[in-house]
């Protein structure tokens, strides 16, 4: 473990865990989600994800994996029921309070969503700058995060000069540089070959070992088998446990 290079992550996670060690990181209570066009995605879903867990969510295309994550980071509201993340009810938060909570949730997408005309370093730090971190702190976090994802040498490159695996590692760095206690990854390996997929998974698992709760959606059965984490499947609007027990 790269203790020296990533100590800010561990320090901050330790602080978080003191405040909420007995509580769930994610709680869904009878959640139903129907889009305004009438498409019904989730119906009466209950789910508890404890702090510090690593969980896979799988299910057929169109089953609602992305919708579930959107509910968790406040991009969609539940039609019925409660979505509670880190003790906050996402259904009632608005404006500044929602923005503040969203800063505490790291999100990684299949297509990376990097800013093309910004360097790797800028892509990672742009949010910290907006949040008023000092230059020294930004530099400290940037360096530690780049080391953690193995991209220190590529800090001044632009996204189109990187491979898919490298771009995904930049997007992970961007998601965690603000030390969120929760990291959501929506098919993060969907565009990657097996070698790069495994590299990304190893980084996500290392982050989980620092205490970050990690939720990953994926179709990749081989990857899920290779990692020994609980698996939930979304099917016909419900969520089922298909791997090892969730409440470990």
Ligand X SMILES: Nc1ncnc2c1ncn2[C@@H]1O[C@H](COP(=O)(O)OP(=O)(O)O)[C@@H](O)[C@H]1O
Residues that bind ligand X (CB under 6 A): 35, 37, 39, 41, 59, 61-67
| Cβ nearer to ligand X, comparing 52 with 78 | 78
First to last CA, the chain: 23
Q: Which does 67 bind (CB under 5 to 8 A by kind): ligand X, Mg ion, none?
A: ligand X
Give the three-class secondary structure for 78: coil
The item of Mg ion, ligand X, none sharing an interface with residue 125, based on CB under 5 to 8 Å by kind, is none
Q: Which residues pair with 217 in a beta bridge?
A: 57, 186
183 and 108 Cβ atoms separated by less than 8 Å? yes
Q: Nearer Cβ to ligand X, position 61 or 160?
A: 61
- Give whole-number Cα distances, 109 to 2, 81, 139, in Å: 25, 26, 25
The item of Mg ion, ligand X, none sharing an interface with residue 61, based on CB under 5 to 8 Å by kind, is: ligand X
The partner in contact with residue 194, picked from ligand X, Mg ion, none with C-beta cut-offs of 5 to 8 angstroms by kind, is none
Choose between 139 and 233: whose C-beta lies nearer to ligand X: 233
Residue 128 C-beta-side C-alpha neighbours within 13 Å: 24
CA torsion, ordered 70, 74, 75, 81, to nearest 10 deg: 70
How far is 158 from 45, CA to CA, in rounded Å? 41
Which of Mg ion, ligand X, none has residue 39 at its interface (CB below 5 to 8 Å by kind)? Answer: ligand X
As measured in angstroms, the least distance from the Cβ of 116 to ligand X is 24
Shortest distance, position 190 Cβ to Mg ion, whole Å: 9
Q: How far is the CB of 186 from ligand X (least distance, A)?
A: 7
Least spacing, CB of residue 60 vs ligand X, in Å = 7
Binding residues for Mg ion, per CB under 5 A?
A: 65-66
Closest separation in Å from C-beta 224 to ligand X: 15
240 binds, among Mg ion, ligand X, none (CB under 5 to 8 A by kind): none
Element (DSSP H or E) covering residue 213: strand 213-217
**135 phi and psi, to 5 degrees?**
-60, -40
Contact predicate 84/29, CB 8 Å? yes
CB of residue 220 vs ligand X: minimum separation in angstroms?
A: 14
Q: Which does 37 bind (CB under 5 to 8 A by kind): ligand X, Mg ion, none?
A: ligand X
Nearest CB to ligand X, comparing residues 62 and 194: 62
Q: Measured at CB, which residue is nearest to Mg ion?
A: 66
Identity of the residue, 51 or 58, whose beta carbon is nearer to Mg ion in the bound complex: 58
Least Å distance between CB 36 and ligand X? 7
Tokens of residue 114, six digits: 């990097």
Q: For 117-145, what is the HEC assignment?
A: CCCHHHHHHHHHHHCCCCHHHHHHHHHHH
């Amino acid at each position: 473990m790269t203790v020296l290079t990533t100590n800010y992550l561990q320090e901050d996670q330790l602080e978080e865990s003191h405040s909420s060690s007995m509580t769930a990181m994610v709680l869904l209570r009878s959640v139903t989600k129907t889009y305004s066009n009438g498409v019904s995605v989730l119906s009466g879903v209950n789910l508890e994800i404890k702090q510090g867990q690593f969980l896979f969510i799988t299910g057929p295309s169109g089953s609602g994996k992305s919708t579930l994550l959107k509910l968790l980071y406040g991009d969609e509201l539940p039609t019925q029921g409660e979505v509670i993340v880190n003790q906050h009810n996402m259904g009632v938060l608005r404006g500044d309070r929602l923005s503040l909570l969203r800063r505490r949730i790291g999100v990684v997408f299949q297509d990376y969503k990097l800013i093309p005309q910004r360097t790797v370093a800028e892509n990672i730090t742009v949010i910290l700058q907006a949040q008023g971190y000092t230059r020294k702190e930004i530099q400290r976090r940037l360096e530690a995060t780049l080391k953690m994802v193995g991209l220190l040498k590529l800090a001044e490159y632009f996204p189109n000069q990187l491979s898919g695996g490298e771009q995904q590692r930049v997007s992970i760095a961007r998601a965690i540089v603000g030390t969120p206690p929760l990291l959501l990854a929506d098919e993060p390996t969907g565009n990657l070959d097996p070698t790069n997929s495994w590299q990304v998974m190893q980084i996500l698992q290392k982050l989980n070992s620092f205490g970050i709760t990690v939720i990953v959606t994926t179709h990749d059965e081989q990857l899920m088998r290779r990692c020994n984490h609980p698996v939930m499947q979304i099917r016909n609007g419900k969520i089922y446990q298909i791997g090892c027990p969730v409440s470990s």
